[in-house]
Amino acid sequence: FAPWNDPEAKPYISFENVTKKFGDFTAVDDLSLTIYNREFFALLGASGCGKSTLLRMLAGFEEPTAGRILLDGQDLRGIPPYKRPVNMMFQSYALFPHMTVEGNIAFGLKQDGMPANEIAARVAEMLKLVKLEQFAKRKPHQLSGGQRQRVALARCVAKRPKVLLLDEPLGALDKKLREETQFELMDLQMKLGLTFVVVTHDQEEAMTMADRIAVMDKGKVKQVATPAEVYEAPNSKFVADFIGNVNMFEGTVSTVVPGKVDIDIPADKITIRTDATRECSSGQTVGFAIRPEKIRLSRKEPANTSVNAARGELYDIAYFGDMTVFHVRLESGRIIKAASLNAVRTVEDPLGYDDMVWVNFDTDAGILLTA
């Protein structure tokens, strides 16, 4: 499933040069974005970046100040929320406290004037879908947080919208339940064949669930790509830094040899040699990002210490069960983060506190960043 790579694929949701201003403040800034049918799409960004505003414009709670939003070829401007083929699930779930689970799920269908027998059938189908058959007669306060979340979800999909919008759908759940529910949501989205657009500030959540992620900052989209691409091939320092852990360097290109670029990092008195994955020229200021798991640590001096090597003191070791994270302080004072999967052990053992170690890495291990 990768319609974004198919030049023939028709966009399903298009934001075309959409701007939203609140007074003088620009919450969404000339933003264009395409989402495909049946895609699980995540809007990811820090608080205040404009992701909820984008979702609210799609739902019809706000109108763009400029630009337009199309759904399945139809311009949505002026169409009130209840007439749009989208439904939105809020973080608070907004369940009716005095109604039972069935009552909550049936509510929208009744309002639409659906015949009672059809409502009963649809509610039963929804209860089964979210595995809440035994809870039909309970009221929201008699349910756990995870169950309430599923009722809210069932209520949202009961009307068979084409698009489901989810604003921080798992925000109210604890970590373990959130992880389980992520997989349930993915499963549900597949079964229903709906397009999901989810807003989250939690990168792990976006990475786990989404087919593609739009990383947002200050009302703009910085990158739209699959989870693997935003992690392994971020297009900018912002995205590299925002997604996952990273060691970020800034320096000046000293030489460009075929296929390789040397970057001087004066602050740390080191030279980084990296595969030339982006065009750059001698003298240019560039960034270099390397993930902790791509760093090797050893007490033994590497064969070549002129590039991609530095010595430092191992001053922190944190054991996380699945992995161990090491902090090395270089002579310059910079802290290098290295991580090794405990099952694989890429770090020479046994390293201990205060050991002097060599940090080094391969030329294809990091990411050259020119933006």
* Interaction site with ligand ATP (CB under 6 A): 22, 25, 27, 45, 47-53, 201
CB nearer ligand ATP, residue 90 or residue 107: 90
- Given a contact cutoff of 8 angstroms between Cβ atoms, the answer to whether 81 and 60 are in contact is yes
Q: How far is the CB of 198 from ligand ATP (least distance, A)?
A: 12
Distance CA 259, CA 270 (A): 20
Torsion angle, alpha carbons of 247, 252, 255, 257, to 10: 40
Distance CA 307, CA 312 (A): 15
Q: How far is the CB of 45 from ligand ATP (least distance, A)?
A: 5
Residue nearest to ligand ATP (CB): 52
323 exposure class (CB count in 10 Å sphere: 0-12, 13-18, 19+): middle
Q: How far is the CB of 312 from ligand ATP (least distance, A)?
A: 37
* Residue 130 token pair: 């979210």
Distance CA 152, CA 143 (A): 12
Q: How far is the CB of 201 from ligand ATP (least distance, A)?
A: 5
Distance CA 253, CA 3 (A): 37
Largest CA distance in the chain: 78
CB nearer ligand ATP, residue 49 or residue 261: 49
Q: Which of 281, 247, 246 is nearest to 261 (CA)?
A: 281
Q: What is the DSSP string of 8-23?
A: TPPPSEEEEEEEEEET
Q: How far is the CB of 19 from ligand ATP (least distance, A)?
A: 12
CA 89 to chain centre: 18
Q: How far is the CB of 24 from ligand ATP (least distance, A)?
A: 10
CB nearer ligand ATP, residue 31 or residue 314: 31
Beta-bridge partners for 367: 289
> What DSSP designation does 60 have?
T
Q: Which of 349, 281, 299 is nearest to 319 (CA)?
A: 349
CB nearer ligand ATP, residue 215 or residue 309: 215
CB nearer ligand ATP, residue 52 or residue 360: 52
Q: How far is the CB of 42 from ligand ATP (least distance, A)?
A: 13
Q: Which three-class secondary structure state does DSSP give residue 189? A: helix
CA 160 to chain centre: 26
Q: How far is the CB of 169 from ligand ATP (least distance, A)?
A: 13
Q: How far is the CB of 178 from ligand ATP (least distance, A)?
A: 16
Residue found under tokens 């004066």: 266
